[in-house]
């Protein structure tokens, strides 16, 4: 041991005591703050997971609605085509009925003469 420099030994001892006291009193505060930060991060992570899950469910519902709308649109288009075809067939049938009616009237007219 070097007793020639006792002042530095005393300063080192006092510094060590102050450091030990600081750690003893400050560590619980730091530990409490660290636990609070970790708890907040955990809560934030759980909330983010819930938000992502809800977003995924909303996207799935939107996709399902989009598919239903597309299916309904296709069915409506098919129905419109069927109505157009039936309208055309009805028009052709009416034209044939008018032609046959005219032919019957012509035949009735020639029978009376």
The model's pLDDT over 51-87, given as tens digits with 9 standing for 90+, comes to 999 999 999 999 999 999 999 999 999 999 999 999 9
| Spatial separation of the C-alpha atoms in residues 107 and 113, rounded to whole Å | 10
Whether pTM exceeds 0.75: no
Range of the domain at 59: 3-112
- Cβ neighbours around 45 below 10 Å, total: 10
Residue 30 has a pLDDT of 80
CA-only gyration radius of the chain, Å: 47
Average pLDDT over residues 95-105: 94
- Mark out the alpha helices in 1-113 (DSSP H runs): 6-112
**For the chain, what is the domain count?**
1
Q: pLDDT (tens digit, 9 = 90+) per residue, 11-56?
A: 778 788 888 887 788 878 788 888 888 888 889 889 999 999 999 9
Residue 20 has a pLDDT of 83
């Amino acid at each position: 041991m070097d007793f020639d420099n006792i002042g530095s030994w005393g300063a080192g001892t006092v510094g060590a005591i102050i450091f030990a006291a600081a750690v003893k009193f400050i560590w619980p505060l730091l530990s409490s703050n660290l636990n609070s930060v970790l708890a907040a991060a955990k809560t934030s992570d759980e909330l983010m997971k819930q938000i992502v899950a809800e977003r995924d469910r909303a996207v799935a519902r939107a996709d399902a609605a989009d598919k239903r709308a597309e299916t309904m649109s296709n069915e409506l288009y098919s129905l419109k085509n069927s109505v157009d075809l039936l309208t055309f067939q009805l028009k052709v049938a009416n034209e044939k009925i008018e032609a046959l009616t005219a032919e019957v009237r012509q035949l009735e007219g020639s029978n009376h003469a």
